[in-house]
Amino acid sequence: MKKLIRFNADHVFTIVQYTLLVYVLMVVCFALYRTAFLLAYGTAAELSPYRHDLCLAYLVGARFDTAAITYSWALLPVVAVTTLFVPLGVGVIKRLLSIYSLVVFVGLLIVNTVDFYFFKFFQSHFNNLVFGIVDDDTRAVLKSVWTDYPVIGILLFWVTAGVLFSRLFTRLLAVSAVAPPKSLFLKMAVLIAFLAWYIFGMRGYSLGLFPLQYSDSIISRNDFINTLTFNGANALQLALAQHTKDTIAGDARAAVAGYGFADPAAAFSAYLGKPVATADTALLYETTAASRFLQENKPNVVFILMESMSNHYLGLHSPTLNLLGALEKELPYCYLFRNFLSATDGTIGSLENLLVGTPRSPISQSVFMRRSLPSSVALPYKRAGYQTSFITGSKLGWRNLDGFVRRQYFDQVLGSNVLAEEVPGATSGEWGVFDEYLFNYLYRQLSTAHDKPQFIFAFTTSNHSPFDLPADYQPYPVNISDSLRKTLRTAEKIVKKNLTAYQYANDSLGRFLERIRNSPLGKNTIIAVTGDHNVRQVFTYDDSTWLSQFSVPLLLYVPEAYGTASVNTNIFASHRDIFPTLYHLSLSNAAYYNTGVNLCGPRAAGNFAIHGFNWAMDDKGCAVLNSGLRYCWNPNRPGRLMPADSASPALDALALRAKAYCAVMQYGILQELAKGPAEPRVTSVQQRR
């Protein structure tokens, strides 16, 4: 065996040298592709202010290229290891490498060329629309390709390049036949180092928790420069992963029938509480009351979606386990709703539900990601003359937010790259810019914008595993008691990091609220804050603790001039009720897509909360829609559920209301999506940017 390894190690050394030469060659080829892309679609006047970002695009692009190259040529290290133990002749190895290299190269060439022309038409790298060749009339699509593009010239280019590179690969194999070191130890050390480098390359040279991903491509305010970082292979891989049309679109009537309604009109009747002859999405729109005061004194409106803002954790706060920080002294100035549920268990589901009222997600990663939806929460504010902004500490490439949110009537969409550039001293964690810097930016925008009232939808990221925090943050005490320690299902070290990150997020929020309240903005700025979902990795939940498992708090800061006489913060509510509430507090005679109730109005009494479009709760108990289970509140254990009696008309009524809500929301979004994916709004790159 030792003799065999010594003999074949010579072949391994050849493969290692060949792979490195191929890698360098491919990096150069990808850089040429990027340059052709730049020359074809970029303009000097537009890009000249972004010279630094343009250079960065090539550097980040090289990392994306490396990931594509190493995955595509993954057979090379496999062959290298295999030949240690399988005696293959040098002729066989060279033939195998030559054929494999040519196939991979031609494949990448085809992908990048098609992506180049795809961008020319759609103003985007490959996305879900690329599957139109299958989803649409395939013959018609192919005919369009034939008539609109130089197909013959492209084919000749591929053949010519294939011939030239076939000879080049043969030459590289000859160059790679350099005598290896004589020492078997050195040969093995070279192989190990090569494999380590290769794995690192497959991660896109990422040292973080995650390998390089699409969100890392958002490096500039200029959308075209962000586009430059990607290549066709990366884009195709992402498009394949995001091709979720079948889970988003569907038959609206079938969706309604799935909730037990004979037809959509029956669902609308149950939801609206009045007879409806024909289902019509126009019935889902309501109008706020006319108010001269609101017309003349338009308030700023800020909605903040906090990462993992747990209601359960809120109840654990104490002087020795400080989970609120500066937020503690701001709570008396806010309405605090605790019987409040998140839309879903995931960030993207809750985020999209809040943004456009959809029960189906992720739209942002589907063929409909470029649709402008009339249910967007920004639209009523935009119509009322507000400047509308979506601002997050996250990378905008996450879940295609950069493309999806821009089309939901937001005037500006800003992410971590802008915050890192414009907020002094801003630092970042794994998921984006730390919360305190996001809040600093929000305050600056509110305090410097005087020509228009502001509507801001903000989204934080800091309270997320691995729970990174700024190096200079000085935490409040986080001491876990013996009684609490017994309930943990995760290592205490991780739990403490989680609790400290939760504290940091709340402390940053509290300082922001205090700053607003003590400034002139405190008299004309309405703020709503909630969490995207609870944290579920620390504690074990069961049927009796569904409220703790699914709940997030809702905080409402309403200046005195805009407040109401009384608000019942003990009612049950959920994400669906937030924007109907904000519209009534801030807008006069404004039409809006109604997903819930105004929590400050008379209809809030008897409201219900819903989570995951499955668990409905009110003051009577909980109805689980998919299983038919019913639970009532345990009179001996506040906040805990227990199985209800077999006959429970009140809970059956709750289930019917919740099913009607789910059915109608499904019907509304599916009717809208049935209109098909939106076409690009403009026809030139310059206009789009």
pLDDT tens-digit series, residues 367-378: 888 899 999 999
What is the percentage of the chain residues whose pLDDT exceeds 90?
A: 60
668 pLDDT more than 80:
yes
Q: What pLDDT does residue 214 have?
A: 81
Distance CA 5, CA 83 (A): 8
CATH number of the domain that 482 lies in?
3.40.720.10
User: Nearest to residue 33, comparing CAs of 94, 136, 108, 122?
Assistant: 108
* DSSP-assigned letter for residue 458: E
End residue of a domain, out of 584, 608, 632: 608
Counting the structural domains of the chain, the total is 2
Beta bridge partners of 633: 641
Q: What pLDDT does residue 79 have?
A: 77
Four-CA torsion 302, 305, 309, 310, nearest 10 degrees: 100
> When comparing pLDDT for 668 and 13, which is higher?
668
> pLDDT tens digit string along 531-554?
999 987 788 788 889 999 999 999
- For residues 421-428, give the mean pLDDT: 94
End residue of a domain, out of 608, 632, 652: 608
Whether 541 is in a domain gets the answer yes
* 3-state SS class at 406: helix
Q: Do 418 and 482 share a structural domain?
A: yes
The answer to whether the beta carbons of residues 250 and 674 sit under 8 Å apart is no
Distance CA 422, CA 642 (A): 52
Q: What pLDDT does residue 1 have?
A: 43
Whether 259 is in a domain gets the answer no
Whether 620 is in a domain gets the answer no
Whether 310 is in a domain gets the answer yes
Whether 279 is in a domain gets the answer no
* 3-state SS class at 441: helix
Q: Do 289 and 228 share a structural domain?
A: no
Cβ neighbour number for residue 413 with a 10 Å cutoff: 21
- pLDDT band, residue 136 (cuts 50/70/90): very low
The gap between the terminal CA atoms of the chain, to the nearest Å, is 62
> pLDDT tens digit string along 311-322?
999 999 999 999
Whether 26 is in a domain gets the answer yes
Whether 16 is in a domain gets the answer yes
> pLDDT tens digit string along 466-514?
888 999 999 999 999 999 998 888 889 889 999 999 999 999 999 999 9
What are 18's two structure tokens? Answer: 């060949």
- For residues 612-624, give the mean pLDDT: 95
> pLDDT tens digit string along 115-124?
998 887 666 7
With 0-12 / 13-18 / 19 or more C-beta atoms within 10 angstroms meaning exposed / middle / buried, residue 425 is exposed
Instruction: For the sheet with 630-633, list strands across it.
Output: 609-611, 615-618, 621-624, 630-633, 641-643
Q: Do 164 and 56 share a structural domain?
A: yes
User: Nearest to residue 438, comparing CAs of 424, 410, 419?
Assistant: 419
Whether 295 is in a domain gets the answer yes
681 pLDDT more than 60:
no
Could you write out the DSSP letters of every residue in 330-367?
GGGGSEEE-SEE-S-SSHHHHHHHHHH--SS--GGGST
Distance CA 172, CA 183 (A): 24
What is the percentage of the chain residues whose pLDDT exceeds 70?
A: 90
The answer to whether the beta carbons of residues 550 and 573 sit under 8 Å apart is no
Q: What pLDDT does residue 682 have?
A: 36
- pLDDT band, residue 4 (cuts 50/70/90): very low
Q: Do 453 and 379 share a structural domain?
A: yes
End residue of a domain, out of 557, 580, 608: 608
User: Nearest to residue 572, comparing CAs of 539, 596, 595?
Assistant: 596
Q: What share of the chain is helix, strand, coil (3-state, %, to 5)?
A: 55, 10, 35
User: Nearest to residue 680, comparing CAs of 118, 271, 13, 6?
Assistant: 118
Owning domain of residue 314: 284-608
Q: Do 92 and 230 share a structural domain?
A: yes
Token pair 């409201």 is found at 607
CA dist list (Å): 357 to 542, 592, 673, 678: 28, 11, 13, 18
pTM: 0.80
User: Nearest to residue 165, comparing CAs of 117, 231, 103?
Assistant: 103
Q: Do 288 and 239 share a structural domain?
A: no
